[in-house]
Amino acid sequence: MIVGIIGSGGREHAICETLKKSKKIKELYCFPGNAGTARIAKNIDIDLKDFEEIKNFILKNKIDLVIVGPEKPLVDGIVDYLERFKIKVFGPNKVASQLEGSKIFTKEICKKYNIPTANFGIFKDREMSKNFLKSANYPVVIKADNLASGKGVYICDNKAQGNSAVDEIFNGKFGKAENLLIEEFLIGEEMSFFILTDGVSFKNFGTAQDHKRVLEGDKGKNTGGMGAYSPSRLLNEELEKKIINKIIKPTIRAINDLGTKYKGFLYAGLMITNNEPHLIEYNVRMGDPECQTILPKLNTDLLEIFLACCENRLDKIQIEWNDKKSLCIVLCSKGYPDNFKKDIEINNIEKINLKKDNFIFHAGTYKDGEKIFSKGGRVLNFVSLCDNFSKARKENIQNLLNLNWSEGYYRKDIGFKVIEKWELYRVSLREKE
């Protein structure tokens, strides 16, 4: 088969690396790809907003399956467009993608189908928002309604912070804003919960804990993600049942009730309070860097999974996983998420001697001749599979030290909550001996 992957980040590189293991794949294309995908696929420089050009290339090169990685093309309706030309596409259509494209759309579904979530209000202009903030109970969460690459969320401790968030959103920091949400602040711990669905049946596709804040100790500004570990330490059998019955199943039913089906990855960002799940938001694709963290654990042929999903036979597939712990550290360009330099050469990548269960996934990179340069704020993803998270983190940090990129920054504490608990557990075991 000939397969095309749309996207240019670490998520798409991880998908490419996992797909290349399939014996059924003859050729891989990546639109537009990065320096990492260039090693295993043919990178095609196409504007992702130009659906016609993408369609023409797919038809000309007889691509059998297209996988859409990022959210923007999904929300803009690329699946609907390509399917008009009988092209097989993995990903949700435009209606279903509104689960991520509009937070208000999702909140209204939550309200109608009794999906547990934070209490919220919808505000259509700056004045309405600021009037509410005068008498709000703080802290509050303020969200841009539209796509914001994981950054359009503000936790505000007082009126001044709230007003500043409102101004930034309505001033267009995350694109044109017609509405915003103000939510109650939920107390608990976050968890990323993934499924794969063909609109009727679904399969669990792992859990993870993302680290959004740019600084160690979960401080500083929100980012697209500084690292993650999988599985989440919060998951247990009782909680999993609650997530499926209270959140996942009603959501799939809601999309079906709209006269369409949800096909693809569904990523539920959850807040867990006293073993009770609340939906924070949905993403209509694999998370980034969660995808890079989860996919190395997959034993089943990813191509077979994608095809089963597209062909409405997901219930016939058994998905098997490696039981090792996985941890990912994101290497960023200094200054991220604000002002950061681009076009900086990255030496030594090929010289790093990776162990069997060590991986480097490219995110914001490009290749010029034989040299590799930085392109985005998040540049490389370092992933390790080990028997415990502590060892996984140590292996990643050692590989980062071996890279020795002076223009990079990374958090050294990814997984600190679960690793601290693991270290304490090991100490207690030694004391009992």
Local mean pLDDT, 10-residue blocks, the chain (433 residues): 97 98 97 97 96 98 98 97 98 97 91 94 90 90 74 86 92 81 91 96 97 93 94 96 98 97 97 95 95 98 98 96 97 94 92 94 95 96 96 97 96 92 58 53
Long-range residue pairs from 80-83, CB within 8 A, at least 24 positions apart, any chain: 81/51, 81/55, 82/51, 82/54, 82/55, 82/58
Pair of tokens at residue 66: 């297209």
**How high is the pLDDT of residue 255?**
97
Could you give all domains of the chain from N- to C-terminal order, each with its CATH number?
Answer: 2-93 (3.40.50.20), 119-184 (3.30.1490.20), 189-316 (3.30.470.20), 325-429 (3.90.600.10)
How far is 159 from 161, CA to CA, in rounded Å?
Answer: 5
Q: What is the pLDDT of residue 150?
A: 54
pLDDT at site 351: 85
